[in-house]
Chain A
Amino acid sequence: MPAILSTDLVTGIISFLLTLMILSYLIGDNPAFRVAVYIFVGVSAGYAAAVAWWQVLFPRILMPLLAGSLTERVLALIALALGILLLMKLSPRTSTLGNPSIAFLVGVSAAVAVGGAVMGTIIPQTQASINLFSLSSAGNLWLERFFFGIIMLLGTITSLVYFHFGAKATPDGPKRSRLVTILGGIGQVFIAITLGVLFAGVLAASMTALIERLNFLWSFLAKLL
């Protein structure tokens, strides 16, 4: 099947060249790397625009306007009007007309963020912290569990305290209280450990990506030769 083989060859060469162009950054910033990055930005933006059209605008605006009920048409028209106002943001002269659309987006996003923060993070994380001290299911290991629970609670609270930036005004300038300074210092240690674990995770993931890319380059060259 020569057609399929040639397609494989072309796509392989494209991937091979792009990989080399990006990895060429290891010898310093160079035009090949920049071309690859600009291609990436262009393709990603075009891809995002196409997805926005087919996944959002076409099914939620065009389809209801063409074949929807009266209510659907009215809602699509409202969304379309707000969308057109948003497009006004593109020009500095008409930019003010886009403010109501931005305000709508900001207001709704703020409400979603508040709801998400409370119901998606604060309540579940607090619940998880409380559950650490549910010792009835721990059996004989209750002491070990209690000890780890105390460390977890200490780490959580001190990490939070570290982000408390309130300070008292003193003649020598703003100063944090002694307790906050001590607890924040302990929190810094926990945060350093957390960031260390995250760093190791990202490093391991990027190592995997490097191995995959080098393996691809090697196997492509081996096939070609």
Chain B
Amino acid sequence: MKFKGITSTVIAISFGVLVLAGYIFGYNADGSLSLLGQFQLIILNIAVILAGFAVLVGIFNLLLVHTKKISQKQKGAGYSIVLIVTLVITFLLGLLAHYVPIAAALFNGAFQYIQLPIETSLMALLVVTLTYASIRLLRRRLNVLSVIFLVTAWVILVGTAPWPFLGDVPFFSDIVRPIIAQIPAAAGARGILIGVALGTLTTGLRILFGSDRPYGGKNG
């Protein structure tokens, strides 16, 4: 029987089952770590290292894609130069940060004075995009559910925001908002959470049973 990727499948299933078994039989009756628990720790440690390598693979790939863009003089190559320069400089500063104090200061500065302002500003842009999206929702798909969605959002905002000269809005802030947030919204969130968990459970089990092989196996 031709079975492409059998090694990968065996690796995925065996290590996955070992880790899962570690959750159940990981401790002895006296509370100490069992042999399976120790195995689980070792496997998880190796997985963490591999995740570190995966980050590097992703970043190398990013570099390769943008280097190719520059070498082929594609549209937007100038932006790629900016990306590569900032990436390489930040990485080098990060590598030197443990030995050269000025590099450490610059590396921390890259987070504090570049990443943080950009992230906050991107977050700030959301005000406009979300408001625009809600207006579009009303104009394009006006039905009971979209009205419930927007009215809920409006009620929560009115009940949450400290209004000028008014502070909390009576009735909205102390009655309506807590009831909506703590009962129907919490119920829906619980349903969504359990649904996501059941989906994760199913997908995980399909991988552990070998039905799904997203690592280059027969069904990968």
Contacts and interface: CB of A to CB of B under 8 A. Distances in A.
Given A99-B216, A117-B201, A151-B187, A108 B44 contact: yes
A68 interface: no
A114 B64 CA distance: 35
Nearest to B117: A15
Contact of B185 (A44, A57, A193): A193
Contact of A213 (B91, B109, B120, B148): B120
Task: With a 10 A CB-CB cut-off, give which of A42, A86, A120, A158 has the most chain B CB atoms.
Answer: A42
A129 B190 contact: yes
B187 A152 contact: yes
B193 A125 contact: yes
A99 B192 contact: no
Interface string A52-75: 111111001100000000000001
Contacts of B110: 43, 46-47
B188 A57 contact: no
B169 interface: no
A100 B11 contact: yes
A192 B180 contact: no
Contacts, number: 408
Interface in B16-71: 16-20, 23, 42-57, 59-62, 64
Interface string A132-169: 00000000000000001001111111111011000000
Contacts of A52: 52, 55-56
A46 B11 contact: no
Interface string A114-129: 1111111110011011
A221 B120 CA distance: 18
5 contacts: A11-B109, A39-B86, A61-B49, A115-B20, A195-B188
Interface of B: 5, 7-9, 11-20, 23, 42-57, 59-62, 64, 76, 79-80, 82-91, 93-95, 97-98, 107, 109-128, 130-131, 134, 145-146, 148-154, 156-157, 160-161, 180-181, 183-201, 203-205, 207-208, 213-217
Please name the 3 residue pairs, one residue from A and one from B, whose CB atoms are nearest each other, closest first: A50-B94, A159-B191, A155-B187
